[in-house]
Amino acid sequence: MQHFIFLSLVSAAAAAYFYFAPPRNLAGLLGIREKKPAAEPFWKLKQKTAFLSNLAFFEKYAKKAIQRGTTISAEKIAFLTLTASFTAFAGGMALFRLWWLAVVLAAAVFVFVPRAVLNFESIRMEKIIDEQLPSVIFTLISSIKAGSTLLGAIKTAGEDHGYPLGSELLIVYESVKHGEDLNSALEKMARRLGDHDAVRRLVLSINIAANTGGSIISMLDAVSKMVSERNYAREMARSFSTQGLISAAALSIVPIASLFALNEAMPGAVSEFFYGSVQGKLVLFFCFCLIMLGWLSIYYMLQKNLKV
């Protein structure tokens, strides 16, 4: 059992490291020697993980990510999914000591992880856009007040801000300079960003002002206030949800701690009850599923509804 626990911990640590570590650290860890610094993370190295992108299951989620305005490769999704599934299998073998329960747990993780990664990346992109948008609108308003044209203001805002809004505004500027209609270029930008609600409002305001001659400054100011109020509401929801998360963590840890305490007080009692028969292992698996179901419910409420 100790070996399965060790393997599950190592797999979880490896997945976290490959997900968050800088590419240069990854290349050094894997012994990859390149003449120039690595420009892509580990999961984008085609010579290492190209076979993973051929799986239609992961490619489907990569395409969905593009539709939601974010970019996440099929290799990255495959790497995280397979690592999480192996971790779940090793942890299931260590906890339940039944191979078919471990397989069921690993299969559930295999199905859930791609969706979780996709939702995490899309929500993270929405948060970045919401944080950038007030500053972008302020730059647009300041440039227009200073006497710049609308296209010049878009170029200034693009140069002053980074990815994603800055680079997308520069794409709009270059497209218009090469003859494309401003409305069409802005519509394409909104689609590339996943039809984000605030971006869609920004595009609509600019298009209305450009076509009808309305006050673009007042329209942009209204969009900026709307985004700021929504960001404030999101921060309030995050602060109020912290207490619930702490309570959920405590309720998840207390049963496990109680089992360890009972096993210390009565050595072998827990092992005899849970691991002495298949029924005991099923009870343990059912309790584990209830805890996971509670966390999934919390995840759904926070990420899908509140997006915090």
In whole angstroms, what is the distance from residue 276 CA to residue 269 CA?
10
- Confidence class for position 12, pLDDT limits 50, 70, 90: low
Q: pLDDT, tens digit, for every residue of 177-203?
A: 888 888 888 888 888 887 778 888 888
Percent of the residues in the chain that have a pLDDT greater than 90, as a whole number: 0
Q: What is the 3-state secondary structure (H, E, C) of the chain?
A: CHHHHHHHHHHHHHHHHHHHCCHHHHHHHHCCCCCCCCCCCHHHCHHHHHHHHHCHHHHHHHHHHHHCCCCCCHHHHHHHHHHHHHHHHHHHHHHHCCHHHHHHHHHHHHHHHHHHHHHHHHHHHHHHHHHHHHHHHHHHHHHHHCCCCHHHHHHHHHHHCCCCHHHHHHHHHHHHHCCCCHHHHHHHHHHHCCCCHHHHHHHHHHHHHHHHCCCHHHHHHHHHHHHHHHHHHHHHHHHHHHHHHHHHHHHHHHHHHHHHHHHHHCCCHHHHHHHCCHHHHHHHHHHHHHHHHHHHHHHHHHHHHHCC
Tokens 């689609």 found at: 191
pLDDT at 297 over 70: yes
Q: Label residue 187 exposed, middle or buried (CB < 10 Å: 0-12, 13-18, 19+).
A: middle
Tell me, what's the pLDDT at 238?
A: 76
- Mean pLDDT of all residues in 137-156: 87
pLDDT greater at residue 91 or residue 83 = 83
pLDDT band at 21 (very low <50, low <70, confident <90, very high): very low
> Between 98 and 112, where is the model more confident?
112
Look at residue 13 in the predicted model and tell me its pLDDT: 56
10: confidence class by pLDDT, cuts 50, 70, 90: low
Poorest-pLDDT segment among 26-35, 57-66, 101-110, 290-299:
26-35
Fold of 128-229: Receptor-associated Protein (1.20.81)
For the stretch 219-266, pLDDT in tens is 888 888 888 888 788 777 777 777 777 877 887 788 878 877 877 777
pTM of the model: 0.65
Mean pLDDT across the stretch 271-297? Answer: 78
Q: Higher model confidence: residue 120 or residue 308?
A: 120
> How many percent of the chain have pLDDT more than 70?
80
- Where are the domains positioned within the chain? 1-122, 128-229, 230-308
Question: How sure is the predictor about 8, in pLDDT bands with cuts at 50, 70 and 90?
Answer: low
Which stretch of 21-30, 152-161, 206-215 has the lowest confidence by average pLDDT? 21-30
Residue 165 has pLDDT above 50, yes or no: yes
Average pLDDT of span 268-296: 78
Banded model confidence at residue 206, pLDDT cuts 50, 70, 90: confident
Rounded CA separation 173/153 (Å): 10
